[in-house]
């Protein structure tokens, strides 16, 4: 949503400049008006398209098992029973704890390690830098499904199967390249002069990093943290393949194993409720950090 | 505070190019020294070698009595003002200025005291709690200076600090920098490409070209007694007129007139003038004058020649007249090379013009003929091969305001090839 509005504003601003520059200002103003209306319709259309499935899931989660198949968007008898069910049965609560724990640990580890790696990549020229970066990218692009078989066997024989570290490790493998690429881009944007100024002011390279570079990279750190967190939170493949009990199974995998109160009823309502519950933290997180992500924190550092 | 001593300082890159070649420079304690030169002359590199942000390939760098070649910037106790200020954008003005003190673990009461004192000196007291993004260019510049002065470092280093400001603010900040340097009496090295800054601020000025120091001297000596063509062309605005000339005996033949050089000048020319000799002649614009404005007493000390005036710029207190003349091609190559170095337009060519600064009361008109007087006592003669000045007065010692400076110049290099050690000037 934000991306498209920013795009609209930017194009609007460009139009403004063009309108000033040219004598045909009136015509330009008219076309700008038409344009912004077009943009609005476009934005509404895209948002509706993206939101409809979410609304549908929300609607399903409020329906009783008898009404699930009625095809109506607005439930005839909305109830929170499905939510009560999933929170009272152990099938959901324990996986939710697993999800939160595993995702948070992976995020923190990945961002810390990636911050150091990305800083080195952005600032230092060392042999094999290009290889490292393209290697990281290749790993991020690697189809996880192709390693899942061997991983399953290795995990079973090393005792990592069905444990938290057993999921954190593969998540790190895929999250780190993402985080390194995002953070390296942010570090490159920070003027090198700031760091040199800090060094002349008496700071060791580490102090300069911690007190000058890191605070400025906060938007980048949040951005990569969110990307990594969402990646771990949403993962289904590793979660379903490398776990067998609720000791490490995360929510996306667990919902697949939902059972209803009777064998003859589909647990559609509960699954929908679980889907809504796991979506909420992501939405809240993005809303909280949106400002930090977008903020141009380096404004005023150097001239321009 | 401390003196800075450079011995044979060289910066060599992996591909063998030298950004700074064999620089010897002594900066006395408390002295204000300017490094000036066209872009790419190595002045910023030299400054960054002093502060430690650039490695030193060869030579010795001493601050006070300490050899600092292998010391990290943080251990050199120098303060630097960067071209783009490099303020920490996430910190307020107060925190920016306190940053070096906090790093040095100065006690908090002392930090507050020193920051407030610096803010008072720099007139930043009202802005102490603002972020750099909310400051004007001049204020940011002051914060950067504040960050330097709170520490009482061994030396201040400035890297083109005024180049991002508009013209008016630049003049204001220039006097500000001079005031603050005098107040604290701290050794200062200041890099600029702007010769006005160089001439007004420095106790001594080092002119660099292609990594080689051409001349180190007081602004006055640089202007009146340039060591070579490059310094002559670089210092002064409008720059010195450079034209071909032939010397036979004590008669100097210029494209538009002949000039009898006074004995005092002749005595300074090394090698004598027995045979005819091709030279490059330098005349500052102010050493021309409308012949009508010259007293009868002075007239014989120069030559009067008729010239067409192609253009006039009247500035109120003075007047610039442009005098076209046929230059010929005798020294075209050297002058073109110099022009390229100085980022000027072509000086040579068939049709060239002189710039003359005339008395504002002069009645010369555009597109008319006028009688112009040229002061024979003030012409500079340069060897066309090496570019060295032939008419130099003896290098004066103790030229600087602090009594520490001595004239240092690029060594004479016949034939114009670069030698290294004493900073030989290359052929122009």
pLDDT in tens, B277-329: 888 899 999 999 999 888 888 888 889 999 999 989 988 888 999 998 877 66
Extract the tokens encoding B52: 């430690």
Residues of A in Cβ contact (< 8 Å) with B147: 197, 201
> Cα(first)–Cα(last) distance of chain A, in Å?
29
Q: B424 - beta bridge partners? A: none
CA separation for the pair A193, B124 (Å, rounded): 23
Question: How far from B156 is each of B97, B183, B425, CA to CA, in Å?
Answer: 15, 13, 29
Contact state of B134 with A199 under an 8 Å Cβ cutoff: no
Q: What is residue B81's predicted lDDT score, i.e. its pLDDT?
A: 92
Extract the tokens encoding A198: 């800090």
Interface of A with B in 7-66 (CB under 8 A): none
Angle between helical axes of A81-88 and A268-294 (0-180°, round to 10): 90
Average confidence score pLDDT of chain A: 82
Residues of A in Cβ contact (< 8 Å) with B84: 191, 193, 302-304
Q: What is residue A296's predicted lDDT score, i.e. its pLDDT?
A: 43
Task: Pick B84's closest partner by Cβ from A193, A198, A216.
Answer: A193
Whether B169 and chain A come into contact, CB under 8 Å, resolves to no
Whether B238 and chain A come into contact, CB under 8 Å, resolves to no
The full 3-state SS of B303-342, as one line of letters, equals EEEEEEECEEEECCCEEEEEEEEECCCCCHHHHHHHHHHC
Q: Check whether A5 has a pLDDT greater than 60.
A: no
Calculated CA dihedral for residues B215, B217, B218, B219, nearest 10 degrees: 0
For B206-269, give the DSSP string: EEEETTEEEEEE-HHHHHHS-SBHHHHHHSSSSPPEEEEEEEETTEEE-SS-EEEPPHHHHHHS
CB atoms within 10 A of CB A197: 30
CB contacts < 8 Å between A and B, how many?
A: 84
Instruction: Tell me which chain A residue has its CA closest to the CA of residue B152.
Output: A201
Whether B151 and chain A come into contact, CB under 8 Å, resolves to yes
CA separation for the pair A280, B264 (Å, rounded): 93
Extract the tokens encoding B221: 């000596």
Instruction: Tell me which chain A residue has its CA closest to the CA of residue B75.
Output: A202
Q: Using an 8 Å Cβ cutoff, are B280 and B332 in contact?
A: no
B171 Cβ neighbours under 8 A, 6+ residues apart: none
Task: Pick B103's closest partner by Cβ from A193, A207, A215.
Answer: A207
CA separation for the pair B207, B46 (Å, rounded): 12
Tell which of A195, A201, A298 to mutate to test the B interface (max B CBs under 10 Å): A201
- How large is the average pLDDT for residues B234-261? 87
Q: How many residues does chain B have?
A: 428
Q: Check whether A31 has a pLDDT greater than 70.
A: no
**Helix or strand or coil: residue B285?**
helix
Q: B200 - beta bridge partners? A: none
By C-alpha distance, which of B35, B127, B36, B44 is closest to B83? B44
Contact state of A204 with B89 under an 8 Å Cβ cutoff: no
Which residue is associated with the tokens 């929908």? A272
Question: How far from A218 is each of A109, A194, A225, A292, B314, CA to CA, in Å?
Answer: 16, 15, 10, 8, 57
- pLDDT category at B96 given cuts 50, 70, 90 is very high
The b/e string for A268-295 (b: 16+ C-beta within 10 A; e otherwise) is: bbbbbbbbbbbeeeeeebeeebeeebee
- β-sheet with B368-375: strand ranges across: B288-290, B368-375, B302-309
- Shortest distance between the Cα of B282 and any Cα of chain A, in A, equals 40
Task: Pick B82's closest partner by Cβ from A193, A299, A304.
Answer: A193
- β-sheet with B212-217: strand ranges across: B78-81, B155-159, B187-192, B32-36, B204-209, B212-217, B408-409
Whether A150 and chain B come into contact, CB under 8 Å, resolves to no
CA separation for the pair B154, B50 (Å, rounded): 12
Whether A132 and chain B come into contact, CB under 8 Å, resolves to no
Percentage of chain B exceeding pLDDT 70: 86
Instruction: Tell me which chain A residue has its CA closest to the CA of residue B150.
Output: A201
- How large is the average pLDDT for residues B370-394? 86
- How large is the average pLDDT for residues B188-207? 92
- pLDDT category at B399 given cuts 50, 70, 90 is very low
CA separation for the pair A256, B383 (Å, rounded): 92
B361 Cβ neighbours under 8 A, 6+ residues apart: B293
Residues of B in Cβ contact (< 8 Å) with A196: 53, 73, 82, 86
- pLDDT category at A22 given cuts 50, 70, 90 is very low
Whether A215 and chain B come into contact, CB under 8 Å, resolves to yes
CB atoms within 10 A of CB A142: 13
CB atoms within 10 A of CB B198: 24
- ipTM, 2 dp: 0.77
Whether A127 and chain B come into contact, CB under 8 Å, resolves to no
Whether B104 and chain A come into contact, CB under 8 Å, resolves to yes
Question: How far from B169 is each of B130, B156, B165, CA to CA, in Å?
Answer: 21, 21, 6
For chain A, give the DSSP string: -HHHHHHHHHHHHHHHHHHHHSSTHHHHHHHHHHHHHHHHHHHHHHHHHHHHHHHHHHHHHTS-TTTGGG--SS-SS--SHHHHHHHHSHHHHHHHHHHHHHHHHHHHHHHHHHHHHHHHHHH---TTHHHHHHHHHHHHHS-GGGTHHHHHHHHHHHT-TTSHHHHHHHHHHHHHHHHHHHHHHHHHHS-HHHHHHHHHTT--HHHHIIIIIHHHTHHHHHHHHHHHHHHHHH--HHHHHS--STTT--HHHHHHT---SSTTS--HHHHHHHHHHHHHHHHHHHHHHHHHHH--TTTTSS--
Contact state of A301 with B72 under an 8 Å Cβ cutoff: no
Residues of B in Cβ contact (< 8 Å) with A302: 84-87
Contact state of A298 with B89 under an 8 Å Cβ cutoff: yes
CA separation for the pair B376, B392 (Å, rounded): 15
Q: Check whether B83 has a pLDDT greater than 50.
A: yes
Q: Check whether B90 has a pLDDT greater than 70.
A: yes
Contact state of B134 with A300 under an 8 Å Cβ cutoff: yes
- Shortest distance between the Cα of A114 and any Cα of chain B, in A, equals 22
Angle between helical axes of B167-184 and B137-149 (0-180°, round to 10): 20
Q: What is residue A6's predicted lDDT score, i.e. its pLDDT?
A: 40
Higher pLDDT, A67 or B357: B357
Q: What is residue A4's predicted lDDT score, i.e. its pLDDT?
A: 40
Whether A300 and chain B come into contact, CB under 8 Å, resolves to yes
User: H-helix or E-strand containing B175?
Assistant: helix B167-184
Which residue is associated with the tokens 């400054």? B47
Q: What is the pLDDT of residues B17-53, one digit of tens each?
A: 999 999 999 999 999 999 999 888 899 999 999 999 9
Least confident of A77-91, A140-154, B36-50, B81-95: A77-91
Q: Check whether B127 has a pLDDT greater than 80.
A: yes
Whether B13 and chain A come into contact, CB under 8 Å, resolves to no
CB atoms within 10 A of CB B295: 6
Extract the tokens encoding A46: 């895209």
Instruction: Tell me which chain A residue has its CA closest to the CA of residue B162.
Output: A303
Q: Check whether A158 has a pLDDT greater than 90.
A: yes
Instruction: Give the phi and the psi of residue B223 in degrees, each rounded to 5.
Output: -75, -45
Q: Using an 8 Å Cβ cutoff, are B4 and B188 in contact?
A: no
Q: Check whether B396 has a pLDDT greater than 60.
A: no
Instruction: Tell me which chain A residue has its CA closest to the CA of residue B76.
Output: A200
Q: What is residue A245's predicted lDDT score, i.e. its pLDDT?
A: 87
Q: Using an 8 Å Cβ cutoff, are B266 and B338 in contact?
A: no
Task: Pick A200's closest partner by Cβ from B73, B88, B90.
Answer: B73
CA separation for the pair B59, B10 (Å, rounded): 6
Question: How far from A292 is each of A20, A192, A214, A219, B62, CA to CA, in Å?
Answer: 33, 22, 14, 5, 46
Contact state of B90 with A216 under an 8 Å Cβ cutoff: yes
The sign of the dihedral angle between the CA atoms of A53, A54, A55, A56 is positive
CA separation for the pair B172, B137 (Å, rounded): 12
Q: Using an 8 Å Cβ cutoff, are B229 and B242 in contact?
A: yes
CA separation for the pair B291, B362 (Å, rounded): 9
By C-alpha distance, which of A71, A88, A48 is closest to A273? A88
Whether B136 and chain A come into contact, CB under 8 Å, resolves to no
Contact state of B89 with A216 under an 8 Å Cβ cutoff: yes
Q: Check whether B423 has a pLDDT greater than 50.
A: no
Contact state of B164 with A303 under an 8 Å Cβ cutoff: yes
Least confident of A202-216, A221-235, B214-228, B266-280: B266-280
Helices marked H in B16-63: 43-51
Contact state of A194 with B88 under an 8 Å Cβ cutoff: yes
Q: What is residue B129's predicted lDDT score, i.e. its pLDDT?
A: 93
Whether B82 and chain A come into contact, CB under 8 Å, resolves to yes
A136 Cβ neighbours under 8 A, 6+ residues apart: A176, A177, A180, A181
Contact state of A196 with B84 under an 8 Å Cβ cutoff: no
Q: Check whether B397 has a pLDDT greater than 90.
A: no
Least confident of A104-118, B130-144, B261-275: B261-275
Q: Check whether A25 has a pLDDT greater than 60.
A: no
- pLDDT category at A223 given cuts 50, 70, 90 is confident
Global confidence as pTM? 0.75
- Shortest distance between the Cα of A190 and any Cα of chain B, in A, equals 10
Task: Pick A203's closest partner by Cβ from B51, B53, B103.
Answer: B103
CA separation for the pair A109, A115 (Å, rounded): 10
Task: Pick B104's closest partner by Cβ from A202, A302, A303.
Answer: A202
Whether A299 and chain B come into contact, CB under 8 Å, resolves to yes
Q: What is the pLDDT of residues A250-301, one digit of tens each?
A: 998 888 888 766 666 778 888 899 999 988 888 888 888 776 665 544 444 4
By C-alpha distance, which of B213, B176, B243 is closest to B409? B213
By C-alpha distance, which of B346, B354, B356 is closest to B245? B354
């Amino acid at each position: 949503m934000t991306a498209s509005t920013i795009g609209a504003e930017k194009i609007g601003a460009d139009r403004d400049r063009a309108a000033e520059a040219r004598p045909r200002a009136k015509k330009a103003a008219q076309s700008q008006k038409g344009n912004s209306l077009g943009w609005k319709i476009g934005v509404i259309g895209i948002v509706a398209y993206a939101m409809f499935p979410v609304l549908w899931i929300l609607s399903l989660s409020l329906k009783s098992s008898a009404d699930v198949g009625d095809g109506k968007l607005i439930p005839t008898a909305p109830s929170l029973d499905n939510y009560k069910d999933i929170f009272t049965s152990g099938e959901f609560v324990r996986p939710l704890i697993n999800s939160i724990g595993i995702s948070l640990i992976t995020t923190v580890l990945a961002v810390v390690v990636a911050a150091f790696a990305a800083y080195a990549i952005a600032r230092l020229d060392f042999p094999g830098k290009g290889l490292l970066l393209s290697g990281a990218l290749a790993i991020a692009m690697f189809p996880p499904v192709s390693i899942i078989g061997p991983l399953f066997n290795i995990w079973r024989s090393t005792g990592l199967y069905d444990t938290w570290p057993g999921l954190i490790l593969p998540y790190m493998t895929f999250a780190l390249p993402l985080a390194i690429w995002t953070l390296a881009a942010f570090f490159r944007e920070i003027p090198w002069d700031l760091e040199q100024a800090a060094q002349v002011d008496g700071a060791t390279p580490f102090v300069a990093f911690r007190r000058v570079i890191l605070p400025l990279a906060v938007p980048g750190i949040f951005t990569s943290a969110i990307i990594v967190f969402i990646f771990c939170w949403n993962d289904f493949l590793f979660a379903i393949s490398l776990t067998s009990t609720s000791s490490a199974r995360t929510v996306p995998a667990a919902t697949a194993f939902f059972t209803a109160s009777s064998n003859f009823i589909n647990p559609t309502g509960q699954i929908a409720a679980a889907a809504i519950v796991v979506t909420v933290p992501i939405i809240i997180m993005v809303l909280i950090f949106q400002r930090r992500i977008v903020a141009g924190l380096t404004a005023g550092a150097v001239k321009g | 505070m401390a003196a800075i001593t450079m011995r044979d300082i060289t910066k060599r890159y992996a591909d063998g190019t030298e950004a700074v070649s064999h620089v010897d420079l002594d900066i006395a304690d408390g002295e204000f020294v300017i490094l000036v030169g066209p872009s790419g002359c190595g002045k910023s590199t030299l400054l960054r070698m002093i502060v430690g942000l650039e490695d030193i390939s060869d030579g010795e760098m001493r601050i006070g009595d300490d050899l600092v070649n292998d010391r990290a910037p943080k251990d050199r106790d120098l303060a630097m003002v960067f071209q783009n200020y490099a303020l920490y954008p996430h910190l307020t003005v107060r925190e920016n200025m306190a940053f070096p003190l906090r790093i040095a673990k100065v006690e908090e009461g002392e930090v507050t005291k020193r920051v407030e004192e610096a803010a008072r000196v720099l007139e930043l007291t009202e802005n102490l709690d603002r972020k750099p993004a909310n400051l004007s260019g001049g204020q940011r510049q002051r914060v950067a200076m504040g960050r330097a002065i709170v520490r009482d470092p061994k030396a201040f280093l400035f890297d083109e600090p005024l180049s991002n400001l508009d013209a008016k603010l630049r003049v204001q900040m220039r006097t500000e920098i001079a005031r603050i340097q005098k107040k604290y009496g701290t050794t200062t090295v200041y890099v600029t490409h702007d010769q006005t800054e160089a001439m007004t601020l420095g106790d001594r000025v080092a002119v660099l070209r292609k990594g080689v120091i051409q001349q180190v001297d007081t602004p006055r000596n640089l202007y009146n007694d340039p060591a070579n063509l490059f310094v002559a062309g670089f210092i002064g605005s409008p720059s010195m007129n450079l034209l071909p000339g032939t010397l036979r005996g004590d008669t100097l033949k210029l494209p538009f007139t002949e000039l009898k050089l006074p004995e005092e000048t002749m005595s300074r020319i090394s090698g004598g003038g027995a045979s005819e000799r091709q030279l490059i002649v330098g005349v500052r614009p102010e050493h021309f004058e409308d012949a009508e404005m010259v007293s009868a007493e002075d007239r014989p000390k120069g030559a009067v020649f008729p010239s067409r005036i192609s253009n006039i710029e009247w500035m109120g207190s003075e007047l610039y007249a442009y005098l076209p003349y046929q230059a010929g091609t005798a020294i075209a190559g050297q002058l073109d090379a110099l022009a390229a170095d100085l980022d000027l337009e072509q000086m040579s060519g068939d049709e060239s013009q002189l710039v003359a600064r005339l008395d504002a009361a002069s009645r010369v008109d555009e597109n008319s003929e006028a009688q112009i007087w040229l002061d024979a006592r003030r012409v500079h003669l340069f060897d066309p091969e090496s570019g060295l000045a032939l008419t130099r007065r003896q290098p004066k010692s103790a030229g600087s305001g602090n009594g520490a400076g001595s004239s240092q110049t690029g060594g004479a290099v016949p034939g114009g090839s670069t030698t290294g050690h004493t900073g030989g000037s290359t052929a122009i």
